Amino acid sequence: MGVKPHVQKTIFLVWLLLVPAGMWFTYQAYPPQFSGNWLKLLAFLVLTVLVAAMPIMINHTPIFLIQWVALATFLTFGLFIELVISQIAVVALFIKIRLPKEQLFRLPFNLMMFFIVSFVSGAAYYGLGGQTAPSLSTDTKALWLAVFYAVLYYFVNQIIVSFNFYYIYKRKEAFFGKDFFVETLTTVITLPIGIVLYILFKQVGLLAILFVGLPFVSVSLIFQLYYSSQKINHYLQDAAEIGHQMAERLRVDDVINLFIQKLGEMLPVDYAYIFEKVGDELKLSRRIESGEGTYMEMPPLKKGDGICGLVWDKQEALIFSAKKDWQQKTKGYLPDDTEAILCVPIIRNKKVIGILLLASRTKRAYEKYQLTIVDILCSYFAVAMENAKHYERTKNQSERCALTNLYNYRYFEELLHKEFERLTRFEHRMLSLIILDIDHFKTINDTYGHQSGNEILRDIANRISKLVATRGTVARYGGEEFVVLLPDISKEEASQIAEQIRQSIANWPFILYQALDQEQKKIQVKVTVSIGVATAPEDAEDSLALVRHADRALYIGAKQAGRNRVAEYTSH
């Protein structure tokens, strides 16, 4: 959860009022014990900056282990010097983690936090009689005071961190969580290192930095590399799991939605674009903004056009840290507030079938190892999309009439059974069925040919589908018969829809382009239909009865009454 702007402004204001004045007060109240040996001071400063530049990232929160260096610096040079070096260390940390603009308030907040921690701990140490440059190896009281300083430093730091999480960020995590455990463990481990560094520094001077500081920095570097490898392994495991999940999806939309959702969970994604290669162009097939799909009409891209065209041309992924790196290459797809970009080709059988572009409003949002992870995910995505498209084609062929593209008899039977079950569970109030049959269709075929008859069937299917729209399901029931299933539509409303269908067919002649005559002239043919309507539970107690009664209305009430009319089922 982000920090509100007025809170950020308050943080900047408090830092401005507190830290400069506090530093001046500290200089006056606890003047530095500095003999003028700038080389020693510089050595401690360099060591502190090195340690600060190697934080441990836990839950995206940097934890840097400068407590031991701060302890040795405090004991050697006094409170004021320790304050100055700690402030520099905080700046070095945020330079290392590349703090984005929207989080700049964290810099004054942490400067203020470390000032308070150091000042409270140092003031308490001096208040209990502690001295600068004590002899810890011979004075037991001085040693315990140094330990007291370090323990108090830790507890004050924890109090301020807790305030930060609960009142600034409004987080709800438990206090005794992973962060607390790591902070406590590192404090316990590093406390003796700080004391050893101070004692050794008093005895051998700058060599102590080499004997204690450099090994610690080396271990921190090794730990960072280990943590990075663990993080990459975690990403790879997630990628494999996402690949399995995508493979289980049987619909193209489900595959795309899962792909985008998981990418958003793994990476900072504000905008996502999926392009599909169609012929010699890239066409935008999906655009996601802040997790929501949005419609966007954009011109297609050619090979070499824009960032996606370049990725297509080179068949290599591209990563940009900031807007200045890519703004001359874009073709207008990206919003103005975009900064970092990660663009990856979607490849199947060594051919580019699409392009994925991820964008973030934050600079340097993506790292190179993430590019590799996304590349792997795109490979899984390509396979899952191919499987889903194949499944949908096969399913469509099994459920659809090849001539009219309406649902077929098999699909209608299953749907009718499901909808009737919902009716019996009171999920529907009623269920209406329309059955229509083309009048004298055999005569049409005999007169104009079966090809022309097929044209009429396709045209009738289109007219019915447009009139029914989303109110129900249209299917081809037989040779020249069509059905319309209408959930939660009364018999009266169904009859009105049926009458609209009848009029749309009877009042607008059909144009035939493939007549039997040799000249292939356009021919206008008038066609009529007879329609029967029945509604459950009013007219039927089961699905078979609903079909039977609608069919009875069609033949007795419409066909035998003269055709070209709508008839409702009646039990009389």
Q: How confident is the model at residue 1 (pLDDT cuts 50, 70, 90)?
A: very low
Backbone dihedral angles phi then psi of residue 300, each to the nearest 5 degrees: -70, 160
Task: List, in order of start, the domains of the chain with CATH numbers.
Answer: 5-233 (no CATH), 252-394 (3.30.450.40), 409-568 (3.30.70.270)
Which single residue is written with the structure tokens 């070209």? 564
Strand partners, 289: 271, 292
Task: Name the strand (E) or helix (H) holding 437.
Answer: strand 431-438
CA distance 53 to 114: 16
Most confident of the ranges 22-26, 248-252, 306-310? 22-26
Residue 490 has pLDDT above 90, yes or no: yes
Contacts of 252 (CB under 8 A, 6+ apart): 385, 388, 389, 392
Which single residue is written with the structure tokens 């619909």? 251
Mean pLDDT (whole number) for 219-247: 75
**Side-chain half-sphere exposure of 487, counting CA atoms within 13 A:** 16
- Per the model's pLDDT, the better-predicted residue between 189 and 252 turns out to be 252
CA distance 79 to 128: 14
Amino acid at 476: R
- Which of 515, 535, 533 lies closest to 524 in space, CA to CA? 515
- Which of 512, 515, 556 lies closest to 534 in space, CA to CA? 556
pLDDT tens digits along 131-146: 888 888 788 898 999 8
On whether the CB atoms of residues 311 and 346 are closer than 8 A, the answer is no
pLDDT tens digits along 31-48: 887 666 788 888 888 888
Of the candidate ranges 4-8, 150-154, 261-265, 282-286, the one whose mean pLDDT is the lowest: 4-8
pLDDT tens digits along 149-179: 988 888 888 787 776 666 655 555 555 555 5
Of the candidate ranges 173-182, 257-266, 287-296, 517-526, the one whose mean pLDDT is the lowest: 173-182
pLDDT at 100: 66
On whether the CB atoms of residues 133 and 33 are closer than 8 A, the answer is yes
How many CB atoms are closer than 10 A to CB 12? 15
pTM reported for the whole predicted model: 0.58
CA distance 361 to 365: 8
Concerning whether 173 is annotated as a catalytic residue, the answer is no
Q: How confident is the model at residue 481 (pLDDT cuts 50, 70, 90)?
A: very high
Backbone dihedral angles phi then psi of residue 272, each to the nearest 5 degrees: -140, 135
Backbone dihedral angles phi then psi of residue 515, each to the nearest 5 degrees: -75, 175
- Which one of the listed residues 183, 455, 480, 568 is annotated catalytic? 480
Per-chain mean pLDDT for the chain: 84
